[in-house]
Amino acid sequence: MLRGITQCATCGVEYDAETLPSVCPVCADERQYLPPDGVQRWHQPAEAGAGISVVEVEERLFALRVDGGVGIGQEAKVLVTDHGSVMVDVPAAITAAAVEEVAKLGPMRAIIPSHPHMFGLQTAWSAALGDVPVWIARADAGWLGRTPAHRHLWDGEEEVLPGVVAAQLGGHFPGSAVVHWGGADGQGVLLSGDTIAPNPDGRTTTFMYSYPNRIPLSGAVALRVADGAARFAFDRLYGNFAGAILGGARDAVLTSAARHAAWTGGEHDDRTGPAGMPG
């Protein structure tokens, strides 16, 4: 399942081994980063030595937590429904044991990376789980370094399975997406990637063009993204790392976007001190 695949050692995104670019385009973009020494390094996935734990974070929702390996350490989620499972975001690692555990959760119906940083080893996971369709936002398809054998290009909003809807809200990337699921309790769960990122306080979110390079989205875009998410009812929100909001998440997204817009629009500049040293 790893034949023909090479990864960027920095971001973990897969590429065709025979057509490697001189530098990883994902890392060369200002939303990511090249190594400090500027040297592109490639990695063979079979040599990663990573471990993957499949952890239930709430009923019928599982996190794939990677220990070791390469890349930025994203945490994929697998939601399980009566109609099959959906993987949201993709690890930059794969092991036979993790594939076996995920397969036991039920037939995988779709793999949905929220944006190009989350492509990981998506073609390997697709093949290992039975040639699962990989949902690629049409707006972001140009970032593919390896084209999935079973690719589903999509735009806007689509129902993935009954009770599971994928929606492209943009912002971080033009095709940046979230996945809404009713949840086992019916209260609603939003798997937000980092289209909307939960903050460490567990009560607020942020909206960024680049997370590692600290480039914020404008207030107008943050409000647009939040309004797009608020079309759905959801009590809980999970990002693409370990962060989450475990109650009142829809309201938290809206109030966080308003706060973001106020700060980026200069509303609170009076809190930041004098413009310069006194003459």
Q: What is the pLDDT of residues 120-138, one digit of tens each?
A: 999 999 999 999 999 999 9
How many residues does the structure list for the chain?
279
Span 65-114, pLDDT tens digits: 999 999 999 999 999 999 999 999 999 999 999 999 999 999 999 999 99
Q: Is 95 exposed, middle or buried (0-12, 13-18, 19+ CB in 10 A)?
A: middle
What are the phi and psi torsion angles at 182 (to 5°)? -65, -25
Look at residue 258 in the predicted model and tell me its pLDDT.
98
The span from the CA of 35 to the CA of 30, in Å, is 13
The span from the CA of 198 to the CA of 253, in Å, is 9
**pLDDT of residue 277 exceeding 80:** no
Span 217-235, pLDDT tens digits: 999 999 999 999 999 999 9
CATH of domain 5-264: 3.60.15.10
The span from the CA of 266 to the CA of 269, in Å, is 5
Residue 118 tokens read as 């989350």
Residue 209 amino acid letter: Y
Instruction: Report the chain's terminal Cα–Cα distance, integer Å.
Output: 67
**pLDDT of residue 3 exceeding 80:** yes
Return mean pLDDT, the chain.
Answer: 96
Span 134-159, pLDDT tens digits: 999 999 999 999 999 999 999 999 99
The span from the CA of 200 to the CA of 133, in Å, is 33
The span from the CA of 253 to the CA of 274, in Å, is 31
Residue 76 tokens read as 């994929």
